[in-house]
Each structure stands twice: as structure tokens, then as C-alpha cells.
Amino acid sequence: MVDFSLTKEQIAMKESIGKFCQKEVKPLAAELDRLADPNDVFPMAEKIIKKGVALGLPFMVIPKKYGGLGADNITVGVVFEEMSKADAGFAGNFGISNIAWLPLLEGGTEDQKQKWFKKALEDESGLSLACWAATEPQGIGIDSDKVWETGEFALNLTTKAVPDGDNYRITGEKCFITGGGIAKFCTILADTPGGPSHFIVSTDTPGFKVTRLEDLMGHRAMNNAVLFFDDMVVPKENLISKEEGNGITEMMGVLGYSDAWVAALSIGIAQAAYDAAFEYSKMRIISDKPIIRFQAVGTLIADMAMLIEAARTMVWKALWTNDSEGIPNPRLSALAKVFASDTAMKVTTDAVQVYGGAGYMKENPVEKLMRDAKVTQIYEGTNQVLRNIAATLLFLGV
């Protein structure tokens, strides 16, 4: 039998994080959204980020035996939705840490997990965040033709990790890295002689440079940076899995989980836009009646509700599958991410329409939500690339 009910623990988490985000995150996020300079965001956001760290938001995926929350995928998804209902930027700041730990969870040895999770959980700065550095200015070059022809994914990375005695020397540039300017830890995808591989490093490693903070269209409370690794010397033991060439498998594992979480984040944005538009449509009176009674507006509202219901059902199925199968399902997660983010874009755009001219004004919440929604179609794999990956996996029968 299909069961859509959450467990007591999941409900408790949803309610407590939802309350924290609505009460403390949302009002601050609205202020941060107006700041012109991304360098001004962190000093104002630091206190709330510390509160989120204290609640364990960056450690949801770290198993309990290492001191993390050990949350299942449905819980992570529900929390991503609650966070982004209040603000997608803050959701990104906390969410990315969970994504960044996935290469270690997927490919790391027991010793590596013990060492790095302990470091993260015992970090006393109150800002124990992690980032995942995969994207490069020239693209990471997923070779679609090779996938169709051989079933193998290939990457063309310019960030190189060159063996040098007991170390690697890592050189290269990574762009658009969420949390890159504030994280304490970073998982880096780099090319080695044995192929693409992940490394885990502390961000205070000499040679780890934050060269620029990005100025984003939406998600303006989210830290996002260009990183440069300047001949950074990293011990060989920091190579995740201790064997070169596992980076692509680990990356597909990351996307298999994270796309479903980003899908849940997208639904949070859509839900916030729907809630605002629905209330407005009952309150705005034209010709003596609430505008929801105009069929054209009522249909917009109904379509928004329909898309959100469909997207959430799809996302929960992907999350549930990842929990029950114990391995990620990249096809379902990719499809859920594409559908949910397209839904977020459509619903937020329609929410602006329901508000009419007022929707275009910054004093109302929906224009921010529309800007926040756009990038969900881009990050964690563009919807074009994810559709391609899904088609390939369907073709391969995976």
C-alpha cells in the first residue's frame, strides 16, 4: 500500500526546522536580498548560520555513528523544502554541506570517514560548513557522445592533481561554488593520472584561494565563490577512496541523491509562491469580488496547486526509492529535479501574474521567489543535461 505519512521523527524535524526558518531566517533573508555587495552578506548572516549549524543542518547526511544526524533521504528532502520555503539562499548554504559530504560517504574508506566527519563535527568555529568544487570555467565537459556509445561517463577536467612523493599538487580553477567563500572543508573533483578523482581538504590549506564572491540574481543570502587552487599540496591520504579514477562514479552517486534534495528545495520555493498568490487572490477585490473568482485567475491558482502536488509526489518517490534501495537512483532523481524546478519556475512566474503590477514590486514577496526559482533549473546539473542523462539511463535500461 502507498503511504504518504511521515514518521514522528520526520514530523518533529519538519516542524522545528520550519519554525526556525520562518521566524529567524525569512525576515533576515528579505534584508540580505537587498544588499548590493555580496561581501556584505556573510557578516549579517553569520549569527543565523551558526544557529543552523548548531541545529545540525549541515550534518544531516553524516551517519549517527560518526556523530551526525543520520537522516534518511525523506527527512533531508522535507528539511530542504522547509528551509527553502523561508529562503532558498539559506537552504543552499546549509544544503550544500550535505551534498559536499556525499563523495566521502560514497567512496571514502572507513578511516577517512572517521577522520573527516570527526573534524567537521568537532570544529569549534560554529561554522562547520563544507562545499563541493566540481564546476570549472570551461565546463566539466560531460562527453554525451561517449555516454551514448559506450555507456561510460567521461569528464574533461582542467584542474589537475599531480602525484609528488607522498602528496598531490593540485592546480586549477573552480567556479560558482556554493559556500566556497565560507566553508571549512571542500571536496574537489580533479584529474589524476588514473582519471577524475575526489579529494577532501580543509580550506585553510595553503594554496586554497577564494578569488571572488559571485553576485547572484536570486539566492542572494547564499555564498557562492570562484576558487583557485594554486599548486596546493595535499597528502595522498586525502584522495577519497585511496584509489585514483573513482570521481565519476562518486559524482553520479552525488547527483543520484542531491538532485532529489534540490527538487525538494524547488518545491519549497513553489509552495511559498503559491501560498502568497493564493492569499492575495482571496484578498484582492476587483469589481466587488476576490480575483480568485475570475475564472482565468482561479485556473492559474488550481494549476499551481496541481503542479506542486505532482512535483512533490514525484520527489517523495525519488527520496523513498533512494532510502529503500540503499543506493541512489540517478534516473528518478534527475527526472524529479527537472520536473520540480520547472514547476518552481512556472509557479513563481504565475504567482507574479496573480499579483498583477504589485507582483513586479520588490515590496511583495513573489518577485524574489521568481528570481530564486530560476537557478534551480541550472545548478546540480542543468535541466538540459539532466534530461540527457535520464534519456541515456532509460536507453541503457538503468
- Known active-site residue 214: no
Q: Total number of residues binding ligand FAD (CB under 6 A)?
A: 24
Nearest Cα to Cα of residue 249 among 325, 199, 197, 201 = 197
Question: Alpha-carbon dihedral of residues 176, 177, 178, 180, nearest 10 degrees?
Answer: -130
- Using CB under 6 A as the binding rule, whether residue 101 contacts ligand FAD is answered as no
- Using CB under 6 A as the binding rule, whether residue 216 contacts ligand FAD is answered as yes
- Using CB under 6 A as the binding rule, whether residue 210 contacts ligand FAD is answered as no
The residue among 113 and 219 lying less far from ligand FAD, judged by its C-beta, is 219
- Chain residues 67-96 in contact with ligand FAD, contact rule CB under 6 A: 96
CA 83-89-93 angle, to 5 degrees, is: 80
- Chain residues 273-332 in contact with ligand FAD, contact rule CB under 6 A: none
- Using CB under 6 A as the binding rule, whether residue 333 contacts ligand FAD is answered as no
Dist. CA 135–CA 140, nearest whole Å? 6
- Using CB under 6 A as the binding rule, whether residue 144 contacts ligand FAD is answered as yes
Which phi and psi (to 5°) does residue 158 adopt? -100, -15
Q: Work out how close the CB of 32 gets to ligand FAD at its nearest, in angstroms, rounded to a whole number.
A: 15
The residue among 306 and 378 lying less far from ligand FAD, judged by its C-beta, is 378
The residue among 299 and 384 lying less far from ligand FAD, judged by its C-beta, is 384
Dist. CA 55–CA 52, nearest whole Å? 5
Q: How far is CA 310 from CA 63, 95, 316, 342, in A?
A: 31, 23, 10, 12
Binder to ligand FAD among 77, 379, 392, 393 (CB under 6 A)? 379
- Using CB under 6 A as the binding rule, whether residue 378 contacts ligand FAD is answered as yes
* 229 strand-pairing partners: 172, 208
The residue among 281 and 348 lying less far from ligand FAD, judged by its C-beta, is 348
Dist. CA 25–CA 158, nearest whole Å? 38
- Using CB under 6 A as the binding rule, whether residue 199 contacts ligand FAD is answered as no
Q: Work out how close the CB of 352 gets to ligand FAD at its nearest, in angstroms, rounded to a whole number.
A: 21
| Amino acid symbol at 20 | F
Q: Which three cell numbers stand for residue 153?
A: 561517463
The residue among 18 and 196 lying less far from ligand FAD, judged by its C-beta, is 196
Residue 183: CB partners within 8 Å, gap ≥ 6? 96, 97, 100, 129, 130, 131, 203
- Chain residues 122-141 in contact with ligand FAD, contact rule CB under 6 A: 131-135, 139
Taking every pair of C-alpha atoms in the chain, what is the biggest distance, in angstroms? 79
Residue 321: CB partners within 8 Å, gap ≥ 6? 329, 332
Q: Work out how close the CB of 43 gets to ligand FAD at its nearest, in angstroms, rounded to a whole number.
A: 20
Q: Active-site residue numbers?
A: 380
The residues binding ligand FAD (CB under 6 A) are 96, 131-135, 139, 142, 144, 176-178, 216, 219, 224, 375, 378-382, 384-385, 388
